[in-house]
Every structure is written in C-alpha cells, then in structure tokens.
Amino acid sequence: MTHLPTVKTGDALTEYELTDLDVDRHLLDLSGRSLVVFTSAGCASCRWARKSLAEMELPIEQLVWIDAANNPGVVQRYDVFHLPALFAVKDGSFYDQVSCRLHANELCLALDAAFSLPPEELP
C-alpha cells in the first residue's frame, strides 16, 4: 500500500485527508469500513462534523475527509450537491451515500444499512 496522508490516528479510528490526485488510489487500498466525508471551510455543519465525527463510536475504521472546494473532480464523480456529504466505502468498494442527521445513533443505523447493500465500483 502507498503512503496515505494521515490527519490523526486514534485507538481504533484513523483519519485521512484526500484530494482529486490521490482519492481513487487510496480508497481502493484502504481495508475495512470507511466513511468518506465531503466538507468545506465555509459550511457550519461541515465544521461541526469535522469536530464531532471522530469522537463518535461509529462502525468504521477510517474517516476520509475531502475538501469539496478544492477537489471539484471527485465532487463531480460522487454527485455531491450538498455539504457535508457522506459515503460508505469498504475494502475498495462503494456501498451508498449516507443520508441522516449527524448523530451517533442515526449514523450507526445508516452505516449498517449502507454496508448491507451489494458493493459497487467506486464512482
């Protein structure tokens, strides 16, 4: 596996900051469950997500952050129309967009539902 740009590593959760240039390769290489989160500095909900998601007990091993303002290519491929936008990825496969409020219980249910779907290729 190539070197990933690690933002923060906790006991059970690692965070990555990816860009248009490296997102495809790294998402294919990551093993386990990942929550891919598109954010932007000017978005209040995104700032809250950035601060809070890593502290929640979620059924994932990685949080992958993508700055939507600076990475238009991946934003277009994932059809991101609102922020924050969340997507479930596992072992290099795409599962689904995660649509729910940013509360631990709702996120756990939405992630479990997403990961129960058949996997697809990454966008």
123 within some domain: no
List the domain range (segments joined by +) for residue 16. 6-115
Q: How many domains does the chain have?
A: 1
105 within some domain: yes
C-alpha–C-alpha distance, residues 123 and 113, integer Å: 19
Torsion of CA 75, 116, 64, 48, to 10 degrees: 90
CATH number of the domain that residue 101 is part of? 3.40.30.10
The predicted model gives 100-118 an average pLDDT of 97
120 within some domain: no
Q: What is the model's pTM?
A: 0.92
Res 2 pLDDT > 50: no
Q: What is the pLDDT of residue 93?
A: 97
69 within some domain: yes
Judge whether 50 and 60 are in contact, CB under 8 Å: no
